[in-house]
Amino acid sequence: MQRCIIKKICKYFNKYTKFNKTTHECFAFSLFIGQCFSLFPVYGITKSDVQCLHFKWFSYKVIYNCTFLFGVLVLIAFYIYHVSTSPEKFKFGHLVSIFFFSCAFLSTGLFLRLCPRWPKLMKIWTKVDEQLQGFDLSKNLPFKLKLISIVVLLAALLEHILFLGSSILNVKHEGWTQFDVFLRKNFNYIFDHIHFSVWKGVLFMILNVLLTFAWTFNDLFLVIISTGLAARFQQVTAKLRVLKNSKATHNVVKSKEITSHPLSMHRSLSFMLSLFQCFGIMPIYGINNKNSRKIRFRWKSIRFIYSICNASAALVCAIFCCIQFTRTGIVLDKSATLTFYLCNFFGVLCFIRVAHNWGKLIQEWSIVENSMRNDYGFPPHLKSNFKIITLIVLVFAIVEHSFFILNALNSVWKCENQNAEIYFSFAFPQVFTTVSYAHWKAVLVETANILATFCWNFLDLFIILISFALAIRFKQLSKRIENTKMTHESFWKQVREDYDKLAVLCVNTDKQIGPLVTVSYVSNLMFICLQLYNSLKPRFGVIPTVYFFYSFGFLLARIFTVSMYAAWINDESREPLRFLQSIPSHLYNSEIDRFIQQIHTTPVGITGCQFFLVTRSFLLRVAGTIVTFELMLLQFGPILEKDFISESFSSSEINCT
C-alpha cells in the first residue's frame, strides 16, 4: 500500500517537473493551483495536448467560480451596509476593505471572461512554439514558473497566517478565547446584522481565504505570462548571440592566451580590490595575479565567510533597530540608522554577487582591451587615477566617521562618570537598550559599524571606478575619430565594431553592478531626505553642528560624484556623433550611416537594474525627487518648533549612571 502511494506521488511529481517543450505545459502547474481556489475554470490545462483545452459554462468549475463571486458580492453588501449604519465616522480603513473586496471580485470576473478565450490563445501560442522549434525553450522555464508560484503562494499564506494571528491576539487581549467569539470579532460587519452560527463563521473564513488567494493570483498570473513571453525573446536573443560569437571564436581564443597588461583593468583594480577585501567585500582569489584568468570565487573560503559575517552583522543591527521601534514607535528622523544597516546588508550581498561573476567579467574586459591595444593602447595613468580617487573618498569617509565618534563623545563628556559603557549606550542605543552591556558586545557592535561604514563608502567608490574605466575607453575611441584622416569604408567599419565591443562590455558590466547602483541611489536619497528633515531641528554645540553640515555635504558630494562619473559614460558614448555628423557629403558612406544610427538608437551607460539610465539630466530628476519626498516628510512629520526643541533635548539626554 505504501509503495503504491509513493509510486503515485513520484508519478505526479515527474509529470509536473519534467522538461516541457510548449508554453502551455509550462503554465499547467500555476493554473492548476488557481483552479483549486475557484479561479480559471478551464478544462484540459494539465493535458500535454493543447487541443484538449476547452471551456464549459455548465460545469462544476464554473459553478464553483460563480459561487465565489456571489460570496464576494455578499461580503461587499454587508460591509457597505455596516459602514453606512454604524454610528462611527467613515474611516480610511473602511475604504481599504471595500477596495480589497472589489478588486478581488473584479479580478475573478476578468479571469472568468478570459477563460472562454484561453483555448484559442494557447493554440496560437503553441503554433508560435512550433514555428520556433529551433529556439527551444530554456529547460529552466518550467522549474522557474513553479518556483515563482510556490514562493508567491507561500508568501501569501504567511501574510494570511500573520493576519489571523494578529486577530487572535486581539481577541485574547480583550479576554475572549472562544472560537465563536473570534469569528464574531473578525466578521463583526456581518454578525452585527444577522444571527450568528459557527458554520456561517467557518464559511466566511473559507471565503476570506479564497479572497486572499484571488488577490494574490492576479499578480502571479501576470508574472508567469510575462515570464513565458520573455523566455521566447531570450531564446531568440541567445540564438543571435550564438551566431555572432561563432564568427569571433578565433579572436576570443587568441586573446585568452595573452596575459593581462600592467595597465589593464584587472591590474589597475588589484590594489583597490585588496583594500575592499580587508572589510569583507569582494571575496575573490587571484586579484593580484598578473593573469586575469586566475581569478576564482570560492563558496567554501575564509573570504566568503568573512563577507557573510559582514552582511549578518549589518542585518542583526537592523533587527535591533526594528526592536527599538516596537518600543518607541517609528520615529522618522531616527530611521536613518535602520536605513544605514539595511542598505549595507543588501550592499554586501550585491558585492558577493559581483564577486561570483567577476572572473568572467574581467576576462571580457581583457578580451576587449587586447583587441584595442594596437590601435588605441591602454589608458595612461589609469591605476594612478584609481588610487587618487580611492584616497580622496577614504579620507572624507574617515573624517565623517571621526565626527560621528566625536559627536558621541561630546555627549558623554557631560557626565561626571565617563566610561565606555556610557559612550556605547549613547552611540548605539538600539543595541544596548535591548541587551545588557558587555565589553565584548561593544567591540562586536563597533566592528560591525566600522565594516558597514566602509561598505557604504566602497559602494559609491566601486561605481565611480568602473564608470571611470568605461568612460575613458569611449573617450579613446572619440579621440581616434577626431584625429583620423582616413576616409575609406574599412576604417569606419573597424571603428564601429570597436564601439560595439565597448557597448557590449558596458551592457555586461551594467548587468553585474546594476543592483549596486540601485542600492547606492536608494541609500543616498533616503539619507539626503532624512538629513534635510533633520536640518529643521535646532542644534546645541559646535561639534553636533559641524558633524551635521559635514555629513550632509558629504552625502551631496557622493551622489553628485557618482552621478557625474556614471553619466560620463553616456556623454562619451555619444561624443562620436559630433564628428560623424560633420563629415562632408562626398566622404559619407554606409558604415558611417550605420554608426550614427547605432549611437542614436542604442543608449549606452550605467543603469539601476534597467530602472533608470544615469545621464546628466537624470541628476536633475534626482533633485526633483528629493524635493518631492522632502515636502511629503514635512507634511506628515512633526514640523512644529516646540516638537523639534523637545525632541532635541530628549535625544541629547543620556543615562550617566
| 3-state SS string for 10-60 | HHHHHHHHCCCCCHHHHHHHHHHHHHHCCCCCCECCCCCCHHHCECCCCCH
Three-state DSSP at 350 gives: helix
Q: How far apart are the first and last CA of the chain?
A: 71
Q: What percent of the chain has pLDDT over 90?
A: 11
Name the phi and psi angles at 607, rounded to 5.
-125, 165
Q: Which residue has the higher pLDDT, 226 or 327?
A: 226
What is the rounded distance in angstroms from the CA atom of residue 495 to the CA atom of residue 503?
A: 12
Cα 605 to Cα 566: distance, rounded to the nearest angstrom: 7
How many Å separate Cα 393 from the centre of its chain? Answer: 25
Note the pLDDT tens digit of each residue in 104-141: 888 888 888 899 999 888 888 888 877 776 665 566 77
**Are 206 and 68 spatial neighbours (Cβ–Cβ below 8 Å)?**
no
Query: Do residues 552 and 538 lie in contact, with contact meaning Cβ atoms separated by under 8 Å?
Result: no
CA distance 76 to 98: 7
Beta strands, E only, 304-431? none
Least reliable range by pLDDT among 164-178, 287-301, 605-619: 164-178
Query: What is the pTM (predicted TM-score) of this model?
Result: 0.74
Q: Answer whether 116's CB lies under 8 Å from 53's CB.
A: no
d(C-alpha 144, C-alpha 302), whole Å = 32
Return d(Cα 643, Cα 509) in angstroms, integer: 48
Write the Ramachandran bin of 19: left for phi over 0, alpha for psi from -120 to 50, otherwise beta.
beta
Residue 253 has pLDDT above 50, yes or no: no
Q: What is the mean pLDDT of residues 598-620?
A: 87
Euclidean distance between CA atoms 128 and 228, whole angstroms: 12
Closest to 307 measured CA to CA, from 285, 344, 282: 282
Task: Tell me the mean pLDDT in the region 278-307.
Answer: 87
φ, ψ dihedrals at 567, nearest 5°: -70, -25
pLDDT band with cut points at 50, 70 and 90 for residue 529: confident
**Other CB atoms closer than 10 Å to residue 127's CB: what's the count?**
11
Contact status, residue 119 vs residue 54, Cβ threshold 8 Å: yes
- Contact yes or no for 292/366 (Cβ under 8 A): yes
Q: What is the pLDDT of residue 534?
A: 74
C-alpha span between 252 and 239 (Å, rounded): 19
CB distance 626 to 529 below 8 Å = yes
Taking alpha carbons only, the member of 322, 284, 583 closest to residue 430 is 322
Mind listing the pLDDT tens digit for each residue in 187-236? 877 887 888 888 888 888 888 888 888 888 888 889 888 888 888 887 77
